[in-house]
């Protein structure tokens, strides 16, 4: 008996040690994520319990650290009691829980401390993969079905690329048995997060959004698209301004108001280089949006997941979601073409401005050369006369002028001929380069056609 008690106590100590070691390991995993300081949090918490249909009594609010802990306890207790006692009512009125914060985990700290972040994941039963989604640089979008205590749940993980466009991290859990939806979302900046929350909570299809993860992801992706389109429009204005500056735009309407760049090719070139750099980020973000829309469409067509997503939606609502996804996919594909066109236009304007700068520099150099050709013969002749080789008297200036003028004219003429031949040679070299480029394009096009 004593041996059994000793062995059982030893097993308890081992299990306790393993739990502590596991929690320590998990904290180390999250240690490379930038959090708020311990005891601080700024989160938006929203919940509609399963036994209530009215949303007015359970409107969300911004919570600090202690208020968020109370919110988690309330959600956990309401979910537990309702699941065990009011199953029929659950199916009629599924719950919706949303916790939202700002930050991206790198340059912008997540608006929650590490310990509370772990508690949120545990309470909402979100997958551990969310830590990898937060740390992801290039973005991730995945879904999988989880079985826990004989209950089936659909999990969706979403994270946009770490780029100065729109950075959203989202984890969604959809409980199939209760049709309840749980969401944890972070946006890089609080103003953008408030726009996202307004789009979700004030949506005309909010009743469908709170019980269909596909509808929720559609709204989140639409917000990403609005941001990337806004960034692209700003870059388009910069490029159009450069085209006005170089007079290489077909837009001749004087009523079009364009923000003019400073009349300085060097500053305009710097602006174009910055625009091209930002266009790379925008193009990458749009590519990620296209892949995500395709992923959502594939998820809707997946026969294993489709019944789970369609269970709480009518035929009209389901087809409206699919139509929205198809429209956004086509629209985003067109926006990618616009971004690629902007990159080409930016490259052209950079080359044009570089050529104009080179032409201006060449003109200044030629002017200096002409001045040197004018003054150099006169200076050379004066140095010869002052060397004492010839006898100098009151009539020596006549000899100086008579010898300086022919030499100056001859030197200037030879210099002009040389400059003109050099300009013609540069023009011919540019034409040859253009001809070679057109030949390469023709050959490449013929190979593609074959």
pLDDT digits (tens, 9 = 90+) for 393-416: 666 667 777 777 887 777 778 777
Length reported for the chain: 450
Given a contact cutoff of 8 angstroms between Cβ atoms, the answer to whether 161 and 292 are in contact is no
Q: What is the pLDDT of residues 150-178, one digit of tens each?
A: 678 889 999 999 888 899 999 999 987 77
For residue 42, give Cα distances in angstroms to 30, 69, 113, 171, 401. Answer: 19, 12, 10, 18, 88
Q: And the tokens for 381? A: 């002749």
Cα–Cα distance between 47 and 70 in angstroms, integer? 13
Kindly state the tokens that stand for 332.
Answer: 């985003």
Task: Output the six-digit token pair for 285.
Answer: 């973000």
Closest Cα partner for 335 from 213, 449, 227? 227
3-state secondary structure of 204: coil
Report the 3 state secondary structure along 393-414: CCCHHHHHHHHHHHHHHHHHHH
Residues 64, 36 contacting (CB under 8 angstroms): no
pLDDT tops 90 at residue 295: yes
Q: Where are the domains of the chain?
A: 26-206, 359-436
Strands (E), 188-309: none
pTM exceeding 0.75: no
Q: Kindly report the CATH number that applies to the domain delimited by 26-206.
A: 3.30.460
* Nearest 10 degrees: Cα torsion 219, 220, 223, 229: -110
pLDDT at residue 64 above 80? yes
- pLDDT (0 to 100) of residue 426: 63
Angle at alpha carbon of residue 188, lines to 299 and 108, rounded to 5°:
135
* pLDDT, tens digit, 9 for 90 and up, residues 185-224: 999 999 999 999 999 988 888 888 888 899 999 999 999 9
384 pLDDT band, cuts 50/70/90, is: confident
DSSP secondary structure of 178-234? TTEEEEEEEESSHHHHHHHHHHHHT-TTHHHHTT-HHHHHHHHHHHHHHHHHHHHHH
């Amino acid at each position: 008996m004593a041996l059994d008690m000793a062995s059982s106590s030893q097993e308890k100590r081992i299990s306790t040690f393993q739990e502590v070691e596991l929690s320590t390991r998990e904290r180390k995993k999250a240690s490379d994520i930038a959090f708020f300081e311990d005891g601080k949090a700024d989160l938006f918490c929203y919940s509609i319990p399963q036994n209530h249909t009215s949303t007015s009594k359970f409107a969300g609010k911004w919570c600090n650290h202690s208020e968020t802990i109370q919110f988690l306890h309330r959600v956990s207790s309401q979910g537990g009691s309702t699941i065990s006692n009011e199953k029929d009512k659950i199916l009629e009125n599924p719950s919706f829980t949303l916790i939202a914060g700002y930050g991206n985990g790198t340059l912008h700290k997540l608006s929650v401390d590490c310990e509370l972040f772990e508690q949120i994941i545990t309470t909402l039963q979100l997958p551990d993969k969310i830590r990898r989604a937060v740390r992801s640089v290039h973005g991730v979008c995945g879904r999988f079905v989880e079985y826990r205590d004989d209950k089936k749940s659909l999990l969706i993980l979403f994270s946009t690329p770490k780029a100065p466009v729109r950075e959203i991290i989202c984890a969604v859990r959809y409980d199939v048995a209760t049709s309840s939806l749980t969401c944890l979302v972070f946006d890089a900046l609080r103003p953008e997060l408030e726009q996202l929350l307004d789009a979700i909570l004030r949506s005309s299809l909010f009743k469908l959004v709170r019980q269909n993860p596909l509808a929720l992801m559609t709204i989140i992706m639409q917000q990403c698209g609005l941001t990337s389109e806004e960034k692209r429009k700003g870059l388009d204005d910069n490029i159009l301004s450069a085209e006005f500056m170089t007079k290489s735009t077909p837009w001749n309407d004087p009523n079009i108001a364009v923000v003019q760049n400073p009349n300085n090719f060097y500053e305009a070139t710097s602006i174009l280089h910055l625009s091209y750099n930002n266009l790379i980020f925008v193009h990458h973000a749009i590519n990620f949006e296209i892949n995500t829309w395709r992923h959502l469409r594939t998820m809707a067509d997946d026969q294993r997941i489709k019944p789970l997503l369609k269970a709480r939606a009518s035929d009209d609502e389901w087809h409206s979601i699919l139509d929205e996804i198809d429209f956004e996919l086509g629209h985003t594909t067109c926006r990618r073409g616009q971004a690629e066109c902007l990159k080409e236009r930016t490259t052209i304007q950079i080359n044009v401005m570089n050529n104009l700068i080179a032409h201006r520099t060449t003109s200044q150099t030629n002017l200096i050369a002409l001045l040197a050709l004018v003054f150099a013969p006169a200076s050379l002749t004066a140095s010869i006369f002052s060397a004492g080789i010839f006898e100098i008297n009151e009539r020596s200036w006549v000899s100086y002028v008579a010898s300086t003028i022919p030499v100056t004219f001859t030197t200037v003429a030879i210099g002009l001929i040389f400059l003109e031949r050099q300009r013609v040679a540069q023009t011919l070299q540019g034409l040859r380069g253009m001809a070679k480029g057109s030949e390469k394009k023709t050959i490449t096009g013929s190979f593609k056609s074959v």
